[in-house]
Structure 1
Amino acid sequence: MADARWAVTVDKRACVRTGLCAASAPDRFVLDERGQGEARESVLPASEEVLEVAESCPIEAISIVDAETGEGVFPPED
């Protein structure tokens, strides 16, 4: 994960506005004017913090892919 970069998106249709993402990692996620989570930037450095936030989303509204390869990081593929 050292130099990897992740493309992070929040599905606004799925977001239920718990605010867990912004509360858990305020330097990486914010709430928009409707109270829905969003990544501060569309591409973030790969980190355990970002992965933990995505995993803690109760409805898996946060998706992470490797910005270079497009390979899915989270949610896991079935």
Structure 2
Amino acid sequence: MSAVRVEVDQERCVGAGMCALTAPDVFTQDDDGFSEVLPGRAEAAGEHPLVKEAVRACPVGAVSLRTDG
């Protein structure tokens, strides 16, 4: 079975923080204000109810879901 991971494209992120506001137990912002996935949360993304909403909320499309496998 394929796992679903969430990723933040650091080159695309502008630090809007919509992902962290939408799913704060999955995303955070680093010291420079750019979004990142909290440690250990990337692999559980497919099970989190707000991750798909966080993907949609990103104004620049920096947050995405990927299927491993």
Question: In the alignment, is the contact (CA less than 8 A) between 1:5 and 1:45 conserved in 2?
Answer: no
8 A contact 1:8–1:43 mirrored in 2: yes
Deviation at 1:6, TM superposition (A): 1.8
How well do the aligned residues superpose, as a CA RMSD in angstroms?
1.9
| Match of residue 44 from structure 2 | 44
Query: TM-score, length-normalised on structure 1?
Result: 0.71
Name structure 1 gaps, 5 residues minimum.
70-78
Runs of 4+ in structure 1 deviating by more than 3 angstroms, as ranges, are: none
Unaligned runs of 5+ in 2: none
Larger RCO of the pair (alpha carbons < 8 Å, separation 6+): 2
The structure with the larger Rg is 1
Using structure 2 for the length normalisation, give the TM-score: 0.79
Give the drift of 1:7.
1.4
Which of residues 22, 25, 28 is equivalent to 2:23? Answer: 25
How many percent identity over aligned positions? 32
- Would you say the 8 A contact 2:6–2:37 is kept in 1? yes
CA distance in 2, matches of 1:53, 1:66: 17
Count of matched residue pairs: 66
